[in-house]
Chains A and B, each alone.
Chain A
Amino acid sequence: MKKIKSFFRALFDRKVRSRTISFLIVILGYIVVEILLKSGNLSSMFQSLLVPVTCYMVAALGLNLNVGVSGELNLGQAGFMSLGAFMGVCVSGALAPVVSNTLLRLLLAIVCGALIASVFGFLIGVPVLKLQGDYLAIVTLAFGEIIKSLINNLYIGFDANGFQFSFVENKLKLAPGGKALINGPMGATGTQRIATFTVGIILVLAALIVIYNIMYSRSGRAIQACRDNRIAAESVGIHVANTKMLAFVISAALAGAAGALYGLNYSTLVPAKFDFNLSILILVYVVLGGLGNMTGTIISTIILVLLPELLRGLQDYRMLIYAIVLILMMILSNNAKVREFAESMKQKLTSRKREEAANE
């Protein structure tokens, strides 16, 4: 009994409390959704949001590692998602005759998506991480646009002879029985939809495990040290470029995994879907949830994905109200006067409680 008690106390220890809470929220959310699904209380519209919400969550968690923990603004997360998505579609399409188990195929696609995104993350990270501040942000934006533009011109087919590639113009000559996997601006068509919500939740949990293990490790502390003071970190012997690269590559890998899941959730997927607006959307989840706060990212992703759907009753005005809510939330959570007011209210409340305690 004592052991169990101390185990729970360790779980809610101040240092790791946020980790336990994020896991609890994800698992609780999963249970609630499953109960709603089983009892048939979830409309088809919300059901269609289940997989995307986990994808956005994973991509946002990765971005939070990069923007919040490592402190480098990345405006190209959608580019890495795009790489993962189309890689995932290709892998799943090519393996369809060999691996009939869809779950295994999905997992392989996710792993391949994460791999290709991390390779590109490394290649892009080498030049990007030499820059600082807003210049770094614009270069990640540029890479995101370049990836979108390249995939927009990419044609990949698969037949008995293996993969065929073509660029800018569709010159694929597929043997009978072969199929085109990526069709330039048309993107992936006729993809078998094998993504499931359960795998999505597992992916979110995996992302949390990876991120918290890094954050609470030596390299995680090094990443935060580089964010807080680059020069001081360098002077105590931290290799800043390698440390920042670690965060950047893991962030890209998570985006790639999320992209693979996302790509296999739709039968058609166009490259233009992964544009600057998607990168921004994910960044909004991160900033609103709080930089470096993974629990916040999870909650803000859920709220902001649901918000436009909940506002559907307002019809045309819903995106307008979404924008206003976004601006108001930013102002309320960051304005100095509002903060002061909240502080003073908090103090009043605590002092009143203390008085009451003293009176008793």
Chain B
Amino acid sequence: MAFLSYLINGLSLGSVYAIIALGYTMVYGIAKMLNFAHGDIMMVGAYVAFFALNSFGLPVIPSVLLAMLACTVLGVVIERLAYRPLRQAPSLAVLITAIGVSYFLQNGAQLLWSSSTKVFPSVVPAGSVQLFGGQLSISYLTIVTILICIAVMICLTLFINRTRTGKAMRACAEDKGAAVLMGINVDRIISITFAIGSGIAAIAAVLLCSTYPSLSPTLGSMPGIKAFTAAVFGGIGSIPGAFLGGLLLGVIEILSKAYISTQLSDAIVFAVLIIVLLIKPTGLLGRKISEKV
């Protein structure tokens, strides 16, 4: 029974990773860049939600929507100002710019909201569901987290596969040059991708802060790295891959904390990643890269 409870906790943490990883993987799939500032955009979302809940006393849903709106705008603005001028630049230059943006957001947050840790109120009422005659208790927060992750995943899949914009996004991921020839505005599609990725990062931020309620300007960096790992784990650029990678990463982390060692859980997570990449060099669901001579 303990195992089942760990597994469910792992799925819940993994859901948060999966939502963040979706942002990484979408941006990578379309703009072919590693957006290292993604974790920090999430951090800004957490602060916006915190102030909406605490200072303005807004109810939960409008606060989350406000945080999503703020992150969406932030993501689009960052893309427009920092990444778009570097569309044709080597990928390392874009990577360093993303790191610069990450520094900027972290230090900006420190200036605006001070580096002291704030306590984030949980957005889901405390309490739990008892199963198997009280042997297994699952908190509401865990259930809500997993359900929201599934909902986000379904919405995103429908959007990508069923709408015109989604089709354009897939076309851009496939071949940007050909997409331009078909009359797709690639710049607009990249902006939309950043908007969606950043918007759902705000959801992840609220869920993450409800589980681990300490809010600080460096909040985004470790979950950011983990989610990035999750995206690579599942095959970067692939949306189901990010979902699967996130869930697996969360489960592995919680199980290794429970059964092996708390201190070594990070090392185990990364070791599993390395083993997976050695067996499947493009991640679990990644597409094979074919070399042409």
Contact = CB atoms under 8 A, between A and B. Distances in A.
Interface string A310-349: 0000001101101110110011011111000000000000
Interface size classification for chain A? 35 or more
B192 to A, nearest CB: 22
Contacts of B177: none
A150 B267 contact: yes
Interface string B182-215: 0000000000000000000000000000000000
A349 B277 CA distance: 52
A76 to B, nearest CB: 10
A139 interface: yes
A149 B111 contact: no
Interface in B276-293: 277-278, 281-283, 289, 291, 293
B104 A323 contact: yes
A335 B85 contact: yes
A168 B263 contact: yes
Interface in B94-115: 95-97, 99-101, 103-104, 107-108, 110-111
Contacts of A73: 92, 95
A319 to B, nearest CB: 4
Contacts of B92: 67, 73, 287, 291
Contacts of A280: 99
A336 B88 CA distance: 7
B93 interface: yes
B82 interface: yes
Interface in A244-293: 276-277, 280, 283-284, 287-288, 291
Contacts of A277: 221
Given A135-B232, A138-B232, A316-B111, A130 B86 contact: no
Contacts of A145: 225, 266-267, 270
Contacts of A131: 277-278, 281
B229 interface: yes
B90 interface: yes
B120 interface: no
A139 B93 contact: no
A130 B107 CA distance: 37
Contact of A132 (B90, B225, B281): B281
Contacts of A168: 261, 263-264
B229 A138 contact: yes
B71 interface: no
Contact of A323 (B95, B100, B274): B100
A168 to B, nearest CB: 6
Contacts of B264: 149-150, 153, 168
Contacts of B28: 134
A134 B236 contact: yes
B269 to A, nearest CB: 8
Nearest to B89: A334
A331 B86 contact: yes
A153 B97 CA distance: 34
Interface residues of B, number: 45
B228 A138 contact: yes
B273 interface: yes
Nearest to B280: A135
B34 interface: yes
Most buried by A among B86, B221, B270, B293: B270
B89 to A, nearest CB: 4
B119 interface: no
B111 A326 contact: no
A327 B291 CA distance: 33
Contacts of A141: 225, 229
A241 interface: no
Contact of A319 (B107, B263, B283): B107
B273 A138 contact: yes
Contact of A287 (B93, B110, B229): B93
B97 A327 contact: yes
Contacts of A283: 96
A330 B273 CA distance: 31
Contacts of A337: 85
Given A142-B270, A334-B93, 6 more contacts: A127-B274, A127-B278, A168-B264, A324-B104, A331-B97, A333-B93
27 contacts: A73-B95, A138-B228, A139-B277, A141-B229, A142-B270, A143-B274, A145-B267, A150-B267, A153-B263, A153-B264, A231-B293, A277-B221, A280-B99, A316-B110, A319-B110, A323-B100, A323-B101, A326-B103, A327-B101, A330-B89, A331-B82, A331-B85, A333-B93, A334-B89, A335-B85, A335-B86, A337-B85
7 nearest CB pairs, A to B: A334-B89, A142-B270, A323-B104, A323-B103, A326-B100, A149-B267, A327-B100
Interface of B: 28, 34, 82, 85-86, 88-90, 92-93, 95-97, 99-101, 103-104, 107-108, 110-111, 221, 225, 228-229, 232, 236, 261, 263-264, 266-267, 270-271, 273-274, 277-278, 281-283, 289, 291, 293
